[in-house]
Amino acid sequence: MAFCAFYEINYPKYLCKGELHQQKEWTDDQTGKKINLLDRKTNIAISVIFKRGAIFLNDEKYPLYRELNYEDSYAEFTDTGFKGYKKQFGFLEQKVETEFKFNKYSNSLYTSSIAGGMMAYENNMGHDRVSIEFVGACERMFP
């Protein structure tokens, strides 16, 4: 049990509660016309867990060793806390870029994700763009 308490002190967990803002826009490739498909705000919680060599946000891993995974995913400590970045590619030119910043002085978390790629809408081909932002206050969880 003493090892567990030592681990929790050195590798803390946080629960961040705040507002998530989601927007989705589609652009027709032929006409350039833009259509807003979604604009929603929701209250959610995000867990932040420190482990050896990585930071996890809701089970998404951000390695602390940037030189090993420079292009795709990393986390690093800053003067005010830590930050991270992740880039993922998927089917039909889908690309997702996520960044986060945690401020240890205000115990706040900011995350931003931008995704986009090819998408059909009402029998027309185009490209979609999804943006998601979260701003929340964090509380440290103790065992």
| pLDDT in the model for residue 1 | 42
CA geometry: angle 42, 43, 48, nearest 5 deg: 120
| pLDDT in the model for residue 134 | 98
Between 96 and 137, the more confident residue is: 137
**CA distances, 78 to each of 3, 81, 83, 135 (Å):** 28, 5, 7, 19
pTM for the predicted model, two decimal places? 0.83
How far is CA 113 from its chain centroid? 6
Close Cβ partners of 24 (under 8 Å, ≥ 6 residues apart): 36, 37, 38, 39, 128, 129, 130
Chain position carrying tokens 């969880």: 141
Which candidate, 116, 109, 102, 93, places its Cα nearest to that of 16?
A: 109
State pLDDT tens for residues 1-48.
444 444 455 678 999 999 999 999 999 999 999 999 999 999 999 999
Q: Where residue 80 falls among pLDDT bands split at 50, 70, 90?
A: very high
